Chains A and B, each alone.
Chain A
Amino acid sequence: MTRPPGGVPPRPPGKPPARHAPFQVERQSFRRRRLIDAACALPLLGWVLWWLPLLWRGADAPMPASLVLVYIFGIWLGLALAAARLVRLLKGSHSAAAPPSGGEGP
């Protein structure tokens, strides 16, 4: 990966390394990898949570529909907000640590 303009400048040869710069770059890319992992895990989480109601049979009386509806829509909202947050953070980590991978098209 190359450095983006405006990111941490490449160290001039012959000079001692700036004390914090490499560490920060490292941390940024680590953070970004974690964000990507989270983005990949999100649909799996949704999948599991939305299949969960299949197991609900209710102990004595059947589950009331309203409860399940609230559950499903709540998850929906939560997942969408989580995705929005991840997209924002990923975009931020783009400019801070790494260039957008792949071209932006012609």
Chain B
Amino acid sequence: MSTLNLLASISIAYVALLFGVAFFAERAAQSGRVRWLRAPIVYTLSLSIYCTAWTFYGAVGSAARNGFEYLTIYLGPSLVMLGWWWILRKLVRIGRNQRITSIADLISSRYGKSNLLGIGVTILAVIGTTPYIALQLQSVTLSVEVFSDTAPVENTGSSLTALWVAAGLAVFTVIFGTRNLDANERHHGVVMAIAVEAVVKLTALVALGVFVVWGLSGGVVATLARIDASELGTWQVNNGRWAGVMLLSAAAFLCLPRMFQVLVVENDNDAQLGMAAWAFPLYLMAMSLFVVPIAVTGLDLLPEGSNPDLFVLTLPLSQGKEGLALLAFLGGFSSATSMVIVAAIALSTMVSNHIVMPVWLRLREGTASVSGDVRNVVLLSRRLSIAGVLLLGYLYYALSGGRTELAAIGLIAFTGVAQVLPALMGGIFWRGATRVGALAGLTVGFAIWLYTLYLPSFGPGTVLPASWFSDGPLDITLLRPEALFGVSFDDKLLHAVFWSLLLNTLAFVAGSLFSAASPLERLQGAQFVSARAAGAGARSWLQSTAESEDLMVMTQRILGPNEAQALFLREARAQGVQGDLPAPTPEFLQVLERELAGSVGAATAHAMVGQITGGAMVSVEDLMAVADETAQMMEYSARLEAQSLELSRTAAQLRRANDKLTRLSVQKDAFLSQISHELRTPMSSIRAFSEILRDTQGLTRADQNRYASIIHDEAMRLTRLLDDLLDLSVLENGQVNLNLTEGRLEDILDRAVSAALADEAGSGIRVIRRRVGEQVRLTTDVERLSQVFINLISNARKYCDAEAPELQIMVTDARGQLLVDFIDNGSGVAPEAQDVIFEKFARVSDQKAGGAGLGLAISRQIVTRLGGEISYLADRGGAAFRVILPMRQEMAAQ
């Protein structure tokens, strides 16, 4: 019994040391010296609560029984840490920005501050963690038994040990875990204590490993040889379990309530994560490095049938190394205690925030501002929850009677908490994930886990009837718990992991796709998924009637008077208000809600502020409606803008058209006066000469002839004018018939040139042609085309104002089109006139008015009829016209 007394006193001394560490850390934190408390190394070491007594003792046991599979338990979390940039960085930022207090709070907050989800995750976590706590108690009890002389201690004795341990841990956790309602839910004392424990357990395992490798086996090479010679000597693992358990442990690393507590809730800055990303994998590597050597040596040296879970203790004891065994005992003890403490804190936060507080608020509906000290209620509910969680663990241990395989219980718990993974990952990476989806996924996953793994783990015939395992419930073989849907895996764990996570994810995705998110959910979803932009916070409170004093009273009761006053003062200063109380603006309410959320969780804080702000409870919906309206208005105004832009474009076009019309109208007026003049001149001479012929007696024959020919000429002139007008009107109405014949371009041009220059032969304009390019055969209306050419040439003759007028006619063949250019060396057409010269009645200059101004208009109509176009070329020196004829009406000269 002296050994037991020694153990007891060592344990008590160790716990006292932890108390001291935690106490001084808290003191330091209170006096503001938090720099070293927030050191990345402390954060990294605190993550080591992943390595519980299960891994401390169980890893060796697992290695001795199943070979190398134990490694996957460490490899999975190592991968998660190595991939810190992907998931953890985001998770940690969301946790800080949103004041997340637990994994249940994260899920609840993400899916619209839903309390139902919070309760669901809490229940799942409690059910999943209880066996785990039982496992820790069991391991401590077992390790104590190893030291006692009477090998099988009667059940009461071991239960007594477990009870004492549970009670001691409850006291420690209550003292340091619920010391204050920190706004950030950080526990400096506890974190420092578990960092110390991390060092203790690593030291213990490494010391034992060094002893085994160099003390017992004689060096690294000899140890490796010993491994190869043992029954673990060849590499063989179950592929499915290697992959599955690695995945499972990675998932559990993120979802376990205690891991979430140290990873996310206790995280303070990115630098902590940066160090943990590489240092924690190293820690895990060191923890697992000596597992196989210890297992192999234990199998070699210890008698057949020894419990491999306890090799860590029995091996040094068998070699007479009491001190080393005591160190190993302390390592195991610290693994167990740190896990239980953090798990209890995490669970109690969840239970009090998501179950006790909502119930309490419901019971005192509408009176949150008047009665009772909320602060004490929260603290009391936490303390009771801690005691309750530990009691549950103890009861589980006492009732299950301490089962042998540690690893099995651990993996069952892992599978349970991993059900949160789809909702968690979907929540931070997929904006479309909804509350309904998360609820569906969690429910399905939880139910399948219970049915296929958790309940069967008690053994057939205890919870589930034995007949269900062979024939299925109600003889439905498809529903056998260990061979769901008739698919039987060779491994029960893999079977449960596969079906629960698969159906969980499917239900989650399907539920999200087929349901609509509430506005608050959408808001939270956007903030969680784009964590960079987070910080703006959920704008939850619109026009509120909340009284600042009521809020003050309530806040005091949650945060404590000093902190509440400091917060209100700070906000009042920020608002620029003179007194101590800030105005209850939406911004202030938002800040306040977030501060409160740090203590009582997002859902409860939302509900409490809601009670005080009276009827304006879910003004979020209104706000979102307003936001929607704003968005609509913005869209509407954008559309208006586009329309007005289009309108102004149309207006500009109209203005241009109007300008053109005005110019045309002016031209028409000018033309009318011109044409009346044109008609009038021949008319008056015809009238005058016909009067002479009629009235004058005795005219000579010669005079008669002269006057009659003048009348004839003038009549001809009128006829020409009228012909032109008729011609144009016919062309414009499309009533013209083309007389298509074949002719050479050269001939057409020859005829046009001689016709145009006929009446004033030698009057000066020199026509320059390149006959080589003109050797083209055209199938066209030769008469009409030469009419166009005649018009262009005579225009040049009439209007070219150069000293030695010249006209160049150039024919070019350009990509399926025939270009005929008429370029003279005169001053050309004035720019402002260029766009109207092809209009009817257009005349370039009044002075030289030779014709009626219809020539170019007619030409354009003709060329268009022939399938080509005519245009004026600016910047060619003189007036330059281009006639473009399509090739389809021509055939190259043979």
Measuring CB to CB, which residues of chain A are less than 8 angstroms from any residue of chain B?
A: 36, 39-40, 42-44, 46-47, 50-51, 53-54, 56, 58, 62-70, 72-73, 76-77, 79-81, 83-84, 87, 90-91, 100-106
Contacts and interface: CB of A to CB of B under 8 A. Distances in A.
A46 B75 CA distance: 9
Given A64-B228, A67-B235, A91 B532 contact: no
B157 to A, nearest CB: 39
24 contacts: A46-B75, A46-B79, A50-B75, A51-B243, A54-B239, A56-B235, A58-B235, A62-B234, A64-B233, A65-B232, A65-B233, A65-B292, A69-B224, A72-B75, A73-B289, A79-B82, A80-B282, A83-B84, A84-B279, A87-B274, A87-B278, A100-B270, A101-B532, A102-B534
Interface string B479-500: 0000000000000000000000
A72 B79 CA distance: 13
Contact of B281 (A36, A51, A62, A83): A83
Given A66-B225, A102-B532, A103-B535, 11 more contacts: A46-B79, A54-B242, A62-B235, A66-B224, A69-B68, A72-B71, A80-B281, A83-B84, A84-B278, A87-B274, A91-B274
B86 A64 contact: no
A56 B235 CA distance: 8
A100 B227 CA distance: 48
B117 interface: no
B79 A66 contact: no
A83 B82 contact: yes
A96 B52 CA distance: 41
Contacts of A53: 235, 237
B865 to A, nearest CB: 61
Interface in B243-281: 243, 246, 268-271, 274-275, 277-279, 281
B250 to A, nearest CB: 9
B228 A65 contact: yes
Contacts of B534: 102
B277 A46 contact: no
10 pairs of A and B residues whose beta carbons are closest in the complex: A43-B83, A105-B96, A83-B278, A84-B278, A66-B224, A63-B235, A62-B234, A39-B85, A68-B235, A87-B274
B847 interface: no
Given A50-B75, A65-B68, A65-B228, A42 B235 contact: no
A77 B82 CA distance: 12
A105 B80 contact: no
A79 B281 contact: yes
Contacts of B328: none
Contacts of B78: 46, 76, 79-80
Nearest to A42: B82
Interface of B: 67-68, 71, 75, 78-86, 93, 96-97, 224-225, 227-228, 232-237, 239, 242-243, 246, 268-271, 274-275, 277-279, 281-282, 285, 289, 292, 531-532, 534-535
B269 A105 contact: yes
A100 B270 CA distance: 9
A4 B362 CA distance: 50
A95 B281 CA distance: 26
A42 B78 CA distance: 11
Nearest to A38: B85
Nearest to B87: A43
Contacts of B270: 100, 104
B252 to A, nearest CB: 16
Contacts of A56: 235
Given A68-B68, A87-B274, A102 B531 contact: yes
A84 B452 CA distance: 41
Nearest to B274: A87
User: Which of A42, A44, A66, A91 counts the most chain B CB atoms within 10 A?
Assistant: A66
Contacts of B232: 65
Contacts of B234: 62-65
B82 A43 contact: yes
Contacts of B67: 65
A105 B268 contact: yes
Contacts of B68: 65, 68-69
User: Which of B71, B85, B227, B239 counts the most chain A CB atoms within 10 A?
Assistant: B85
A83 B79 contact: no
Given A39-B85, A63-B235, A64-B233, A69 B278 contact: no
Nearest to B285: A76
Contacts of B268: 105
Nearest to A39: B85
A80 B283 CA distance: 10
A104 B269 contact: yes
Contacts of A84: 278-279
Contacts of A73: 285, 289
Contacts of A77: 282, 285
A46 B79 CA distance: 7
Nearest to A63: B235
Contact of B235 (A43, A64, A79, A103): A64
Contacts of B228: 64-66
Contacts of A69: 68, 224, 227, 292
A62 B236 contact: yes
A43 B75 contact: no
User: Which of B84, B234, B235 counts the most chain A CB atoms within 10 A?
Assistant: B235
Contacts of A62: 234-236
A17 B78 CA distance: 47
B559 to A, nearest CB: 15
A80 to B, nearest CB: 4
Nearest to B225: A66
Contact of B86 (A43, A50, A91): A43
Nearest to B231: A65
A66 to B, nearest CB: 4
Nearest to A50: B75
A66 B67 CA distance: 12
Nearest to A61: B234
Nearest to A41: B83
A79 B279 CA distance: 11
Nearest to A71: B235
Contact of B97 (A63, A67, A105): A105
B86 A40 contact: yes
Contacts of A43: 79-80, 82-83, 86
Contacts of B277: 83, 87
Contacts of A47: 79
A51 to B, nearest CB: 7
A39 B274 CA distance: 11
A47 B278 CA distance: 16
Nearest to B90: A102
A46 B548 CA distance: 55
A40 B71 contact: no
A26 B239 CA distance: 46
A101 B523 CA distance: 21
Nearest to B531: A102
A106 B184 CA distance: 10
B95 to A, nearest CB: 9
Nearest to B277: A83
A79 B79 CA distance: 9
Contact of A54 (B85, B243, B278): B243
B246 A50 contact: yes
Nearest to A91: B274
A79 B81 CA distance: 11
A1 B616 CA distance: 39
A40 B84 CA distance: 8
B96 A80 contact: no
Contact of B278 (A40, A51, A80): A80
A63 B68 CA distance: 13
A96 B278 CA distance: 22
A68 B75 CA distance: 14
Contacts of A42: 82-83
A42 B282 CA distance: 15
